[in-house]
């Protein structure tokens, strides 16, 4: 089955010199505790699914990095890594210094990401024995 043009552009982007995917994965993995701390500051009631999905993404990245789970396309791991690093950046499109509204751009990034890789995340949930209804 051939690639569609969007996949070709995506491949070119990730093969370019401006992004070194293994370094991004390593950087996101090394910031696990920082990401987890920021994620835990979210209002668990207002953002319950998003809260759980970020937690799931962190867990998936950890299992991937340790070699425990590899049944996921590298694109999905790359996107998770980039989104998690964006989440940590306090001076992104809408600075996180602004209470609640500063999380709006982070939430938009994650919602878009989780929708685009939902199948991969659901497969990971099944592999872990998690109830996918809690996350999606």
On whether the CB atoms of residues 62 and 29 are closer than 8 A, the answer is yes
pLDDT, residue 17, reads 40
Sign, Cα dihedral of 91, 15, 112, 32: negative
pLDDT, residue 13, reads 42
pLDDT, residue 36, reads 76
pLDDT, one tens digit per residue, over 10-44 is 444 444 544 566 677 777 777 777 777 777 766 66
pLDDT < 70 regions, the chain: 1-22, 41-45, 91-100, 102
CA distance 5 to 55: 32
On whether the CB atoms of residues 21 and 78 are closer than 8 A, the answer is yes
Domain spans of the chain?
Answer: 23-134
pLDDT, residue 30, reads 76
Residue 5 phi, psi dihedral angles, 5° rounding: -60, -35
CA 15 and chain centroid, separation: 19
């Amino acid at each position: 089955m051939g690639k569609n043009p969007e996949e070709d552009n995506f491949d070119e982007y990730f093969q370019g010199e401006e992004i070194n995917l293994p370094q991004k994965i390593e950087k996101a993995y090394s910031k696990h505790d920082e990401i987890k701390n920021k994620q835990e500051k979210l209002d668990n009631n207002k953002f319950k699914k998003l809260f759980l999905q970020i937690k799931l993404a962190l867990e998936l990245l950890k299992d991937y990095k340790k070699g425990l789970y590899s049944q996921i396309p590298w694109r999905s791991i790359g996107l998770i890594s980039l989104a998690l690093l964006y989440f940590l950046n306090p001076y992104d499109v809408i600075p996180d210094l602004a209470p609640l509204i500063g999380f709006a751009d982070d939430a938009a990034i994650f919602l878009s990401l989780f929708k685009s890789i939902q199948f991969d995340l659901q497969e990971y949930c099944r592999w872990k024995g998690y109830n996918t209804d809690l996350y999606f």
